[in-house]
Structure 1
Amino acid sequence: MTDTSTAAGTASSSEERVSKDAEKREARVQPPREVPPENQVSQHAHDADEAMKAFEGLDGQPIVLTEADNKRLLRRIDWHLMPLMCMVYSLNYLDKAVLTFAGVMGVQEDLNLKGDNFQWLGSIFHIGFLLWEYPSTLLLQRLPLAKYTGACILLWGLVTAALAGTKDFAGAAANRFLLGALESAVTPAFVLITSQWYTKYEQTTRTAIWFSFAGVGQIYGYFLAYGILIAERKNALAIEPWKALTLITGILTMAFGAWFWWVIPDSQLNARWLKKEDRTLAVERVRVNQQGIGNKHFKMYQFKEALTDLTTWAFALYVCVAFIANGGLSIFYSQILVSLGYTPEKSFLVGTPIGVILAVGTLVLGVLGDRFGERLLLSMIPQSIAIIGMTLIVALPPTYKVVRLVGFYTLGSTVGPLMIMIGMLGTNFAGTTKKTTVAALFIISMSVGSIIGPQVFRPQYAPEYVLPKICVIVCWSLCLVDVGFLRWYYRRRNQKKAEARAAPGYFKVPNQEFLDLTDKENPEFTYQV
């Protein structure tokens, strides 16, 4: 009997070992779950998004957002946010581009710039931008979002005006460094504000609206510089023309910075121009984003996820190579036009259409992207047009002046694809720490490209800059490859998430949208393509 029991026990143990071995083999062949189970999602409830405060005291009562209320709120939000964001972003472009206009207004002679000093003034701006970008992004998360941004706008307006008081390269370099550091806040801040107030189906259009005003800034920058030069020719200026330009733009920026500080709220929760019940509805309407409106706590696991997410580095690579091209061109636009045979004054007027193309093209691309849901695919069209335009400038001889000018105008179309990528920082990354980390890395990569860009346009390549222009074509071609990869990768991720949601036993946690989950953690999150 004992032998029989022992044998049975041995057989049973053997079967258990076989069963466990089978389970281990099955576990090894099972693909890893990208979507966590219910308990892993629920563990974040103790440190949820700020949006949860909007629902305190409701005792579980359902919030009904009618279509009429949604449209009414959207109109009110648009009228309070968009005009100011547009004007500030146009000044953001104009203040950093002051150096571009000053380059043909006498700044090099007045500051006694030698050799590659002018190129370095372009790069030093982006060094300041680079070094302060990540600390600035952390402050955007920890401090009141709009108040910190408004302070930065006021201060960079002051620094822009102060450029008029510089006497040499050292003073101008210090000024540009500070300007870069202060302007580093605006793009990530605007991405956060847009994702905070608008649904993922509205964000590309809104991003396009405020981003297109970089083109508007370019337009009135050209006209302002032209008017100042004409006034100088008529002896109507008491100071050098480039100094008049920096003072006007700096004072204008300070005025809008003060307005921004007063009008723009830090979130829906403290919007003075919304009634209490509308504040709750304004939060409810962005539930579809699966992101919330922000969390003030730094989360290390989200930071690590941002660093290990392949798409983070795809975005970083894109913007770096794009700004090696754009960073160089933005400083040398006026010089390139002069190389095509135009006088400094005429270059300002002839260059104006590129700002129109930038503004209109960006806006149209944003609207079409939201309408057809193919943002990345559509962005490849203007990028390809710009490559053809730059090829015309390089390949054709100077006698083809009009055709080369048309090629120059197509360069403004590259800003639209960049807008799409910036908009996707808001729609395709979730979890406040992860989103701000990715935004910081994106802007840091932009700064690296912008530092390299002006150095590509070395003095020895003047006046035609043939080799730098070829470098621009190569960079834009790499951008096309990067965008193609992202489109394929996001579609693959969306398919896996759909399969996970359709799996038996899937359970959605109540208010999962507002638990400050990352895009990878949240099974309900879908990526925009």
Structure 2
Amino acid sequence: MPDKEDLCVSDYSVSEDEDVARKFLMHFDAAVLDETKESDFKGITEEATFFGSHSLDKKVLRKLDMYVLPFLCCTYLLMFLDKALLNYAASMGIKNHLEGDDFSNLGTIFSASYIFAEPIAVYLLQRFPVSRVLGSFIICWGIVVVCHCVCKSYASLMIVRVLLGVFESCSAVGCITVNGMYYTKSEQTQRIGYWAAQAGTGYIIGGLMSFGFLHYHGAEFTSWQIMFLVVGLITVAFGFVTLFFLPNNIPHAWFLDEQEKIQVIEHIRSNQTGLETKKIKMYQVKELLLHDKLTWPMLLLTGCSQISTGSIGTFSTTITATFGFDRYETALLQLPIGCVTIMIILITTQLIGRYSHLTLITTSMFIPAIIGCIVMIALPLSNRIGNLLSLYLLYSGSCTITNIYIWNTCNTSGYTKRLARNGLTMIVYNIACIVGPQMFRAYSYPRYIPAKIALLVTQCVCVPLQLYIGYISFNENRSRDKEQEESQVKPEQYKFLDKTDIENRTFRYVY
């Protein structure tokens, strides 16, 4: 398959400063690039930029879903599962090698190394072929997961958690990058839902594996060591598949012919976000940090909303055990978490993909989480069912990270700016994941009241913050609509010039 991919693009090259889609169209069908139709003028509305103005042959769309979407689903599943194995190992005996706050520190060091490596991962994703970078990182983190099985001390576990954070830093940003290349904004929203829902699948698989391996009683290896070994080897194998078979972009898509590639590029033109460029444009980073009024509110929202992810991602089994369940029941009770996560993500992303209304749908997701925090604070631990259901409600707020992925990919134009925004989002996400586990201190066991109060406050803050972001986006669209109405010059169609969303005044934000 890679040979066919190379043949597709062997007769043209891409300048680092050019969008690969523009170069492709200029080489194969320059008329398509420069032609401006009356229908293109109708596309500069919020609705058309979200749902697209060019219909794609259903057969071609199925090809994209068949050959691209499985890579994203498997990458996100393994990323989540490999990171969360420590959570499941907590009920399988790994804590026998730890004491005090050592377990919290293992969760923290993973996120700290992730933050350190994220700028490097973003740089590599822009400078080199996406599939090569993503595949190499997956192979490396799979090897690190395997190495967990020989760790029998706190120091050795700290080392492998550091390395795992470094290599997983490419995963979420890589998935968002690939997802944005092939679909309209509406389609991206739905596809992000499909692969982000694999976090729920990870809970289910992890719970079942934990329960199954708990029944293993070997002399040489413990159950949690075998679990790390098996999952790590699967990850390594998938990494090699990604390395050789995931296309780097549409022109390199070995499963499409030339006309189908042109169709797909025309299909995603209305996104006004382009495909990719290989030159890092620092002015776009400066614009993101200093001139984009949405940057810092979005990062604050990410941090506040995802403190819950850092907390329950590391401590869900520990919290469940405080309700009075044994280790076998605790493992099985992670399965409903997976089902709840899948349901929340799929329902919300499909609603957004169908009706837009990103702000209102995301805001509504914080309400169950707030209720869950209040109930867990109020109920005694003896009320096992009430506490358990309240814990499940917290995952509604945690799942908003999927909507943040959607917001980033739909509302950011300029390839360097988009990668930088996704990278910053993941840095803030992991800062939240550092703060989250550290709130669960040994002295507050078993009720962890201070941590639960902190979760309640952060989830409450997210509601007005999300509404404020929606208001800014609405206001900016209204301002640009007014500019368009007053202008005597009809706007031209998007020509893949890698302009940012601020530079391109025909760009419209999804809110």
Per-residue deviation, 1:105: 1.1
**Deviations 1:279-300 (CA, angstroms, capped at 9, x unpaired):** 2222111001001101111112
Per-residue deviation, 1:204: 1.0
The correspondence of residues 98-247 of structure 1 with structure 2, limited to 5 A, is: 98-109=85-96, 111=97, 113-232=98-217, 238-247=220-229
The correspondence of residues 334-345 of structure 1 with structure 2, limited to 5 A, is: 334-345=317-328
Q: Which amino acid counterpart does residue 468 of structure 1 have in structure 2?
A: A
**Deviations 1:70-102 (CA, angstroms, capped at 9, x unpaired):** 322211101111122112211111101111111
In 2, Cα distance between the equivalents of 1:46 and 1:154?
A: 27
Tell me the residue number matched to 2:440.
Answer: 457
- Structure 1 58/94 Cα, relative in aligned 2: closer, same or farther at 3 Å? closer
1:500–1:506 CA contact under 8 A, matched in 2: no
User: Aligned to 1:53, which of 23, 29, 51?
Assistant: 23
Per-residue deviation, 1:322: 2.2
In 1, Cα distance between the equivalents of 2:32 and 2:458?
A: 51
Gaps of 5+ in 2: 1-14, 36-51
2:305–2:398 CA contact under 8 A, matched in 1: no
TM-score by length of 2: 0.90
Per-residue deviation, 1:60: 3.9
Query: What's the secondary structure of 1:84's corresponding residue?
Result: helix
In 2, Cα distance between the equivalents of 1:66 and 1:428?
A: 17
The correspondence of residues 277-426 of structure 1 with structure 2, limited to 5 A, is: 277-308=259-290, 309-426=292-409
Of stretches 55-64 and 116-125 in structure 1, the one that deviates more from structure 2 is 55-64
In 2, Cα distance between the equivalents of 1:524 and 1:101?
A: 49
Query: What's the secondary structure of 2:413's corresponding residue?
Result: coil
Of stretches 310-319 and 127-136 in structure 1, the one that deviates more from structure 2 is 310-319
In 2, Cα distance between the equivalents of 1:202 and 1:433?
A: 22
Q: Does 1:472 align with 2:459?
A: no
Tell me the residue number matched to 2:10.
Answer: none
Tell me the residue number matched to 1:254.
Answer: 236
In 2, Cα distance between the equivalents of 1:313 and 1:68?
A: 35
2:25–2:32 CA contact under 8 A, matched in 1: no
Number of residue pairs the alignment of both structures matches: 479
In 2, Cα distance between the equivalents of 1:326 and 1:475?
A: 12
Q: Which amino acid counterpart does residue 89 of structure 1 have in structure 2?
A: Y
Tell me the residue number matched to 1:85.
Answer: 72
1:208–1:363 CA contact under 8 A, matched in 2: yes
**Deviations 1:288-336 (CA, angstroms, capped at 9, x unpaired):** 1001101111112111101022211112111222232220221110010
2:75–2:175 CA contact under 8 A, matched in 1: no
**Deviations 1:153-210 (CA, angstroms, capped at 9, x unpaired):** 1110110110111231111111101100110111111111111111112111111110
Per-residue deviation, 1:117: 1.2
Q: Which amino acid counterpart does residue 27 of structure 2 have in structure 1?
A: G
- Structure 1 370/254 Cα, relative in aligned 2: closer, same or farther at 3 Å? same
- Structure 1 136/67 Cα, relative in aligned 2: closer, same or farther at 3 Å? closer
In 1, Cα distance between the equivalents of 2:17 and 2:71?
A: 32
TM-score by length of 1: 0.87
In 1, Cα distance between the equivalents of 2:419 and 2:196?
A: 19
Tell me the residue number matched to 1:36.
Answer: none
Tell me the residue number matched to 2:508.
Answer: 526
Gaps of 5+ in 1: 1-44
1:50–1:293 CA contact under 8 A, matched in 2: yes
- Structure 1 67/488 Cα, relative in aligned 2: closer, same or farther at 3 Å? closer
**Deviations 1:413-434 (CA, angstroms, capped at 9, x unpaired):** 2243220111111110110111
Per-residue deviation, 1:67: 7.2
In 2, Cα distance between the equivalents of 1:513 and 1:339?
A: 58
Query: What's the secondary structure of 2:27's corresponding residue?
Result: coil
Per-residue deviation, 1:66: 11
2:16–2:277 CA contact under 8 A, matched in 1: no
CA-atom RMSD in angstroms: 1.9
2:308–2:398 CA contact under 8 A, matched in 1: no
Q: Which amino acid counterpart does residue 372 of structure 1 have in structure 2?
A: Y
**Deviations 1:52-81 (CA, angstroms, capped at 9, x unpaired):** 122123464348999775322211101111
- Structure 1 200/69 Cα, relative in aligned 2: closer, same or farther at 3 Å? closer
